[in-house]
Amino acid sequence: MYGKDYNVDKAALAVPLVTSTLATNEKPSRATVNDIYTQIVNDLTTGAGLIGKDAHNGYINYYGNLAIQARVDMEMGKYAEALAACKEIIKDGDYSLYSIQNG
């Protein structure tokens, strides 16, 4: 919505990328789609080591972070990485694929 798809034009302008406090009169320039995705991946990778694997309702955990990483990988066309992340969530976590209960 605010930039081209990652696999369409990585060099296209997207939203501003602000990683520090700005003065009220500053107007940051728009970053490229590639810069935005690079920051997202860096944030998720860094965050994975900072949060636990235990589930606490209402709070993200390691597996929630991994699910978001899988979604980003899908958007970037990294299907093998996305599949590996999903398999880790299902194998190691307390999560399973949704199934319809009979009766």
pLDDT tens digits along 92-101: 867 777 778 7
What is the per-residue DSSP string for the chain? --S--TTT-TTSEEEE---S---TT--PPEEEHHHHHHHHHHHHHHHHTTS-SS-BTTB--HHHHHHHHHHHHHHTT-HHHHHHHHHHHHHHSS-----PPP-
Q: How confident is the model at residue 102 (pLDDT cuts 50, 70, 90)?
A: low
Per-residue pLDDT at 75: 95
pLDDT tens digits along 4-52: 999 999 999 999 999 999 999 999 999 999 999 999 999 999 999 999 9
Indicate the pTM of the whole model: 0.84
